[in-house]
Structure 1
Amino acid sequence: MTDPNVPPAISAFVATLPKVELHVHIEGTLTPELRWRLAQKNEIALPYATYEALLASYATMYNHRRELHGDNGLPTFLEAYYGGMEVLRTEDDFYDLAMEYFAKAKEMNVRYTDPFFDPQAHTRRGVPLEAVMRGFERAGRDAKEKYGVVVGWTMCFLRDMPVEDAVATYEAALWAAAQLGSNEYDRPPRLFADIFQRARKDGYKITAHCDVGQKDTHEHVREVATSCVGGMQGADRIDHGLNAADQPELLALVKARGLGLTLCPHAYHRRLPTDWVFGSIKKVWEAGVPFSVASDDPTYMHQQWVTENLGKVMHYCGFAKKDMAKIQRDGVAMSWAPDDVKRAILDELNEFEKGCK
């Protein structure tokens, strides 16, 4: 699904822009084609009799939160998201999932990405942690060699699961940055303060979701920006966090802490007014708070990948080409890429901008 309001010239420009993608859930890139193939390979029954029926299910505007908005008879986003994971069983399944995204990333001129992955969502289904980790780790290595995409994985703790399970998962898998995701309803970041402080001491980067429109979202942003997550300096960045634009003092706190936001515009635009979404992004921009633009869960969000999200931002915010290049530079600065990778991307952006009129 493309946004008919975004001019073709903007779409063409953002397609060629060298990019980083800092907010994409690898399980949220599971295509209907791969899901169907893995279901057949692993002999898993899907609730769809035909591939066409499965494909049609991806076009549904999923009810975002039943606990807030009631039950409309459709699966919530998280139900669809976790339901898709049922086909992922072996190391090769996780490898194939990641490599399919990395091939897409190359097509979109993504130079660096640090995808989120949800080990607890797989181990609670009986999938060995080793299968998850080895599949993704192998794909990360092959992505650089085959596609020229540098990968830095970010492991998520599911905040709607017990904190003790997050601790056990952390101890079993100690090679990724740490993130807090899944359903935030009545699960504030401070519940996980101890494990994040431990991760900080172990030298890991830290971030957390502060979902847009979530209950207590402003307090969640405040907690992530301060000592409740990651020690006295707070997290290293905030995922989503756009509601900080609602409160000038909160936006000022985020800026003072030197935090950037990873924004996924279509994730908000699919359920919130255009003026609020892009007006809030403009407030963040005007306040001088850095942000990157990413896709979140593109296959479950109308096939809106990082290019489509950037096109929306450029069009609805009225940004110039140089502004779009700055967003990528800010993303590079916010990223956890090695310094040599950062320098290479920045050099490429400088050359790219010279050719922009």
Structure 2
Amino acid sequence: MDGLEISPFIQSLPKIEIHVHIEGTLRPAIRWALAQRNRIPVVTKGVTYHTYEELLESYKVTYNHRPEQGGRKDVPTFLEAYFAGCDVLRTEDDFYDMSMDYLKRCSEMNVRWAEPFFDIQAHTRRGIPFEHVLNGYLRAQQDGEKEYGVKSKWIFCFLRDEPVEEGAKAYEQALPWADTPTGKGLFHAVGLASNAFKRPPVLFKQCFERAKQDGLHITTHCDFGQTDTHEHIRQAIFDIGIERIDHGLDALDDDKLIQGLVDKNIGLTLCPHAYHRRTKTEVLFPKLRQLLDRGVKFCINSDDPVYMHDVWVDGNMEKAYHYGGLTKGEMVGLVRNAVEMCWADQSVKDSILEELQDIDTGEDL
């Protein structure tokens, strides 16, 4: 983590994680174990890893998930590595084990509430029954709270680089698992995931409207540095009526976007290490102070920690604290933002806010 260690203060903070892709938490050890259990090779972009050590070495690459913007051609892009990892997920138990591993990691980092992103399209297109995916996650949601004390409600994602019709079909398949009066309670929101290149969020406007009719929350990725990202943010704010934006840091380039975020109280779920991989420290981290100064609500999350140098939510918070020059009081404030931005029950929010009141920052909050 660029030589940084997790400080006792950051470690002690109660945390909320509302921007993490569950498949992006598939640690190499779990991936290797599931491959052995399912008797399948571990392969990424035509390269087979014959030993666990070879697999570990492959994760040291700084993945560039913007292939349309260049980058090394001799290594997998981020998305190629991400979806290659998914190949070991074959059974309900596989999805359960991956998720329980993440929730255990959450308990070690003092994460009290999580809203993991998931999709079924990346798995059904491989021939995996959608029930395997959803039932595995549902069991983990329930057992993760019992065993690790980590409460969660999940976010169903449309794969935005797939046809809209396919996403709508996947939503219908998943709907019985939603947090609705007749549903099983796994997910309470929908969002967009995968490559945003030439795939603006407005394409999925009808899908978002359907989810709102079903009583679900809506969010969307507006990736940092993506082509047309400013238009994506504008659509999210003014055309779709999104409740929060995942990433969205490029809004700082446009006063109208910033004002829209403030006026509509739309928060950003930022993942600093994801941007730090390809943005200079002195360029990136002052943006956090700029957002605070302009009254934009945001919180800190991890995105895809396994494919981003094993930097989890605590590491992302440490980077914000250290490189962003934020005070302890401001870091507590970012957790408060996460409480406000998350879609947990009020009792869960109140419990976390009580914890925050007991943290000694040495400042008047």
Instruction: Place the TM-score, normalised by the shorter chain, in its bin.
Output: over 0.9
Matching of residue 293 in structure 1 with residue 292 in structure 2? no
Q: Name the SS of the counterpart of 1:100 in structure 2.
A: helix
- Checking the alignment, whether the CA contact within 8 Å between 1:262 and 1:293 is kept in structure 2 is yes
Aligned to 1:101: 102
Q: Shift of the alpha carbon at 1:352?
A: 2.2
Structure 2 gaps of 5+ residues are 43-47, 179-186
Query: 1:275 and 1:195 mapped to 2: Cα distance?
Result: 39
SS in 2 for 1:226: helix
Counterpart residue type for residue 288 of structure 2: I
Whether 1:84 and 2:85 are equivalent positions in the alignment is yes
Q: Deviations over 1:267-300 (max 9, x none)?
A: 0001111122112222111111111101100010
Q: 1:310 to 1:280 in 2, by over 3 A?
A: same
What is the TM-score normalised by the length of structure 1? Answer: 0.95
Contact 1:291 1:331 in 2 (8 A): yes
The 3-state SS of whatever aligns with 1:164 is helix
Does 180-189 or 241-250 show the bigger shift?
241-250
For residues 354 and 184 of structure 1, the distance between their equivalents in structure 2, rounded to whole angstroms, comes to 39
Structure 1: gaps spanning 5 or more residues: none
Which residue of structure 1 lines up, in the alignment, with residue 247 of structure 2?
Answer: 240
Q: Give yes or no for the alignment of 1:205 onto 2:217.
A: yes
Deviations along 1:283-331, one digit per CA (max 9) or x if unpaired, are: 1111111111011000100000011100110111111111110100010
Counterpart in 1 of 2:30?
34
CA deviations on 1:172-191 (whole Å, 9 max, x unpaired) are 11212100111000000111
Work out whether residues 325 and 353 of structure 1, in 8 Å CA contact, stay in contact via their aligned partners in 2: no
Equivalent position amino acid for 1:181 in 2: A
**Contact (CA 8 Å) 2:271, 2:301: kept in 1 or not?**
yes
Match of 1:65 in 2: 66
Q: After TM superposition, give the deviation of residue 66 of structure 1 in Å.
A: 1.4
Match of 2:49? Answer: 48
3-state SS of 1:271 partner: coil
Q: Which moved more, 1:16-25 or 1:243-252?
A: 243-252
User: What residue is the counterpart of 1:271 in the other structure?
Assistant: 278
Alpha-carbon distance between aligned partners in 1 of 2:306 and 2:87, rounded to the nearest angstrom: 16
1:33-89 CA distances to partner (integer Å, 9 max, x unpaired)? 000010011111121111101000011111221112155221000000000000001
Distance 1:11 1:156 in 2: 33
1:349 pairs with 336, 348, 356, which one? 356
Alignment of 1:166-181 (within 5 A): 166-174=167-175, 175=178, 176=187, 177-181=189-193
Name the residue aligned to 1:22.
Answer: 18
Residues 1:284 and 2:296 are matched in the alignment: no
Q: Give the stretch that moved more between structures: 264-273 or 56-65.
A: 56-65
1:190-234, Cα deviation, whole Å (9 max, x unpaired): 11111111111111100000000000000001111122x2xxxx1
Secondary structure in 1 aligned to 2:310?
coil
Q: Letter of the aligned partner of 1:214 in structure 2?
A: Q
C-alpha contact 1:314 1:324 (8 A) present in aligned 2: yes
CA displacement, residues 117-142 of structure 1 (integer Å, 9 cap, x when unaligned): 12111111111110000000110011
Root-mean-square deviation (CA, aligned residues, Å) is 1.4
The one-letter code sitting in structure 1 at the alignment partner of 2:40 is: I
Q: How many residues align structurally?
A: 348
Note if contact 1:63-1:72 (Cα within 8 Å) is conserved in structure 2.
no
For residue 2 of structure 2, what is the aligned residue in structure 1?
3
Distance change >3 Å, CA 130–CA 355, structure 1 → 2: farther
Q: 1:332 aligns with which of 331, 339, 343?
A: 339
Q: Would you say the 8 A contact 2:95–2:136 is kept in 1?
A: yes
Contact 1:255 1:289 in 2 (8 A): yes
TM-score calculated relative to the size of structure 2: 0.93
Q: In 1, are the aligned partners of 2:329 and 2:361 still within 8 Å (CA)? A: no
Aligned to 1:187: 199
Structure 1 runs of 4+ aligned residues shifted over 3 Å read 353-357
Deviation at 1:14, TM superposition (A): 0.4
Amino acid at match of 1:195: C
- Corresponding residue for residue 115 of structure 1: 116
* Structure-2 change in CA distance of 1:214 and 1:354 (3 Å): closer
The residue type paired with residue 100 of structure 1 is D
Q: Is the 8 A contact 1:11 1:307 kept in 2?
A: no
Counterpart pick for 1:322 among 322, 325, 329: 329
Question: Contact 1:246/1:280 (CA < 8 Å) preserved in 2?
Answer: no
Give the Å deviation of 1:356: 7.8
- Of all paired residues, the percent bearing the same amino acid is 51
Cα shift readout 1:111-167 (whole Å, capped 9, x = no counterpart): 000000121111111111100000001100111111111101001100000000111
CA, structure 1 residues 354+218, in 2 after alignment: closer, same or farther (shift >3 Å)?
Answer: closer
